[in-house]
Amino acid sequence: MSGQPLEIHVIADSTGETAARLARAAQAQFPNHPFRIVRHPRITTPKGLFLIFDDIRQHHDRPVAVLSTLVNQVLRDLVDDACAELGIVHCDLLGPTLQQLEIATGAPAERVPMRPVGVEADYFSRIAAMEFAVRHDDGQQLAGLKDADIVLVAASRCGKTPLSMYLGYLGYKTANVPLVAGIEPPAELFQLDRWRIVGLTLDPERMAAIRARRVTTMGSRGRHKDGYADLAKIYDELDEISAIQRRLGCPVLDTTKIALEEAASRIIDLVDNRARANGRALRRPPGEMVMAP
């Protein structure tokens, strides 16, 4: 089995995105094993299931697992039976959850296939937040900083823009402002609630490498002469910018060895905790989960 990819068949009565994301999260825990995720969306009839398992049966030499998110009990039973017959691992991701919530609430689940999960409010909130991030990227439209949920401040190449866009994708209106050594930061930053501001920093050697690639990419337009990618000057630059961040009274997150998603999560926690410490509250996007205190 080690030489063949494990096919994870995702069977869903809607898009299958929930199960596919869980499959990808689980897959990451097996970095030395190949996987192939096969999605089967909008399966709402037994006929659709028969076609899926006919194909699996015809290629019985392939290692297979099945993940399903089906609200219909008849369809779930059919998947269970087919997997048992073929000796295939099956994880019912939705059925047991519905059953336990029925016990907890004392109410029956409606079990409506393809029901949207708060799509409209969540979708439009994310779009608005991403548009906000684009408008307020790299110090643009400083007058709008007061409307931001989160403001990131850092030197060039610390990851301000990708983090702003990702936080926007999560539904948080995020602006970012570059800090430049030797230049006074915008006055608008000092007019904000300090708990909204998070500073970023990066290992100097890592920053030098990133900037060197940037200079190479820019070619003749690159910043060869101003020490942009010079390590010694980067150390001095980061010292100055650290002093500015202290003046702003903001926490500073080192993003050197942190994945984008983890950095975003830490930023949200930092802002949320600082807001609560000041008797305020970070605005929560529709559908966003609240972290336990």
Residue 33's CATH number: 3.40.50
What's the structural domain count of the chain?
A: 2
pLDDT band at 23 (very low <50, low <70, confident <90, very high): very high
The answer on whether 160 is annotated among ligand-binding residues is: yes
Q: What is the pLDDT of residue 116?
A: 63
The tokens 């199960």 sit on which residue? 19
Query: Is residue 251 situated within a structural domain?
Result: yes
Q: What mean pLDDT is predicted for residues 121-143?
A: 91
Q: What is the pLDDT of residue 204?
A: 92
Same domain, 265 and 135: yes
The answer on whether 158 is annotated among ligand-binding residues is: yes
SS3 label, residue 178: strand
pTM of the model: 0.66
- How many angstroms separate the CA atoms of 226 and 25, rounded? 43
Sheet holding 89-92, edge to edge: 35-40, 6-12, 64-69, 89-92
The answer on whether 155 is annotated among ligand-binding residues is: yes
What φ, ψ does residue 12 adopt, rounded to 5°?
-145, 155
Between 112 and 260, the higher pLDDT residue: 260
- How many angstroms separate the CA atoms of 117 and 233, rounded? 50
Same domain, 89 and 124: no
Same domain, 168 and 65: no
Q: What mean pLDDT is predicted for residues 24-37?
A: 91
Query: Is residue 288 situated within a structural domain?
Result: no
Q: What is the share, in percent, of the chain residues with pLDDT greater than 70?
A: 92
The answer on whether 159 is annotated among ligand-binding residues is: yes
Q: What mean pLDDT is predicted for residues 54-76?
A: 92
Same domain, 130 and 262: yes
Same domain, 73 and 134: no
pLDDT band at 239 (very low <50, low <70, confident <90, very high): very high
Residue pLDDT, tens place only, 38-55: 999 999 999 999 999 999
- Assign 3-class secondary structure to 114-152: CCCCCHHHHHHHHHHHHHHHHHCHHHCCHHHHHHCCEEE
Q: What is the pLDDT of residue 119?
A: 56
| Helix extents (H) in the chain | 17-27, 46-58, 73-86, 95-105, 119-135, 160-169, 187-190, 204-218, 231-248, 260-277
Which of residues 82, 105, 128 is at a domain's end?
105
Q: Are 148 and 196 within 8 A, CB to CB?
A: yes
- Assign 3-class secondary structure to 239-274: HHHHHHHHHHCCCEEECCCCCHHHHHHHHHHHHHHH
Same domain, 78 and 219: no
- How many angstroms separate the CA atoms of 13 and 94, rounded? 11
Q: What is the pLDDT of residue 1?
A: 45
Q: Give the domain extent around 243.
A: 120-278
Q: What mean pLDDT is predicted for residues 11-40?
A: 90
Q: Are 26 and 89 within 8 A, CB to CB?
A: no
The tokens 């991403």 sit on which residue? 130
Q: What mean pLDDT is predicted for residues 142-152?
A: 97
Which of residues 74, 105, 136 is at a domain's end?
105
Query: Is residue 287 situated within a structural domain?
Result: no
Q: What is the pLDDT of residue 225?
A: 52
Using alpha carbons, select from 193, 156, 206 the residue that is nearest to residue 271: 193
- How many angstroms separate the CA atoms of 232 and 208, rounded? 9
Q: Average pLDDT over the chain, rounded to whole?
A: 90
Same domain, 246 and 213: yes
pLDDT band at 224 (very low <50, low <70, confident <90, very high): low
Q: Which of 59-68, 225-234, 266-275 has the lowest mean pLDDT?
A: 225-234
Q: What is the pLDDT of residue 290?
A: 53
